[in-house]
Structure 1
Amino acid sequence: MNDLEIVDSSFTATINAPFETIDIPGWCFSLSEQEYQECSPAHITAGFTTAPDGRRMSINVEIIGGSLMVQHYVETLGRKDRLVLESVSDIFPPAGRTTLHVLWEMSVKAIDSGRCEFTNRVRSRATEEFKASLERQGIPFDVFRAQRQPMSIAHNRSETPLFAASIERAALRHGTADRLSA
């Protein structure tokens, strides 16, 4: 763990769909607000747009550990089986707005002809702005990290199987459509 890392959590879940029917970026960048909300009670809203440089961007709003977060996830790698998104996320703790750096990686690998293993990995680290905010409040970084980790890990643990189920539904819809058009 580096000196600014807050959490690195990874969880897996099974997707009951063939590997070739899964398209994680296609799912992420077409996810409806309702579908996003159904993946966690902490999820408020989501949408998608493009970053100033033209890359795809997912905007997610959620509450983790009592703090509102607005995540501006920019696609840094987009393959059907792996999506890496990076965000300098706005966070609104009681002491005022600041930022965190979040790296969100989703991947899938085939288990057999009809099932896949989905991995949802989230890593966050403090920005210099966030570290300065803690210092102004007299909160040692290690104390903040120790308090934040369980909440972030619990959030990732609970949303992973729900994301997998949502990806499965999308894969099965598209797989059925592909078979019907053939």
Structure 2
Amino acid sequence: MEDTVIVDTSYSAIINAPLDNIDIPAWCFSLPDEEYQGCSPAHVAAGATRARDGRRMSINVEVIGGTPMVQHYVEQKSSPHHLLLRSISDLFTSSGRTTMEVNWELSVKAMDDGRCEFTNRVYTRPTEEFSAYLDRQGIPFDLFRAQRQPVSAAHNAGETPLFAASIERHALRHAKAAA
């Protein structure tokens, strides 16, 4: 299945907060719209809701490589230091609407008593609808992948340190509230 991965990017940044103060799902599912927008110029809006089966969902709207996307990230695995979300995301292109599977994995591990390493991984795969969309356009999958990878990598590289700073603020704010 590796040949069907469109993009797989992973970047890390430092969080200046103790591991015990960090709760990635609590941050993700309470992330204010303005805070999300501050983590990338490509971020338009964010909110949280529940999927039909009751699992938590983060709704994110962003524009990557000129393509507006609405992501419906449903919680797959969740613990304070690891969150895996999966979305069948809507893409709005000049040639019409389609979908793509986007997986967003956030994790943190302690470096010492007061610092952690945050990792932001995003990997995407085509849906059947997306493959049909490329076929209708006459775009070879490998060509699309080659063009999408640098755009997605640049986006992830830019947002990762800003997400880390946001998680750090969340961790420190909640540590003060608990004290």
Deviates more, 1:30-39 or 1:125-134: 125-134
Q: Distance in 2 between matches of 1:125 and 1:74?
A: 16
State the partner residue of 1:86: 86
Question: How do 1:20-31 residues align onto structure 2 when only pairs under 5 Å count?
Answer: 20-31=20-31
The count of aligned residue pairs is 179
Give 1:153's aligned residue: 153
Pairwise mapping of residues 66-105 of structure 1 onto structure 2 (< 5 A)?
66-105=66-105
Partner residue in 2 for 1:58: 58
**Counterpart code for 2:108:** V
Give the residue type in structure 2 aligned to 1:102. Answer: V
Residue 9 of structure 1 corresponds to which residue in structure 2?
9
**Where does residue 126 of structure 1 map in the other structure?**
126
- List, as ranges, runs of 4+ consecutive aligned residues in structure 1 with deviation greater than 2 Å: none
TM-score scaled to structure 2, two decimals? 0.99
Q: Does 1:111 align with 2:114?
A: no
Give SS of 1:54's match. coil
Note the C-alpha offset of 1:3.
2.6
Query: What TM-score does the superposition give when structure 1 sets the normalisation length?
Result: 0.97
C-alpha RMSD of the superposition = 0.7
Percent identity, aligned pairs only, is 67
* C-alpha distance in structure 2 between counterparts of 1:111 and 1:176, whole Å: 21
Q: Partners in 1 of 2:156 and 2:118 — Cα distance? A: 13
Cα distance, 1:177 vs. partner? 1.3
Q: In structure 2, what is the Cα distance between the partners aligned to 1:6 and 1:77?
A: 22
The amino acid that maps onto 1:117 is: E
Structure 2: gaps spanning 5 or more residues? none
Whole-angstrom CA distance in 2 between matches of 1:70 and 1:4: 21
Could you tell me how far 1:117 is from its partner in structure 2?
Answer: 0.2
Show structure 1 runs of 5+ residues with no match.
none
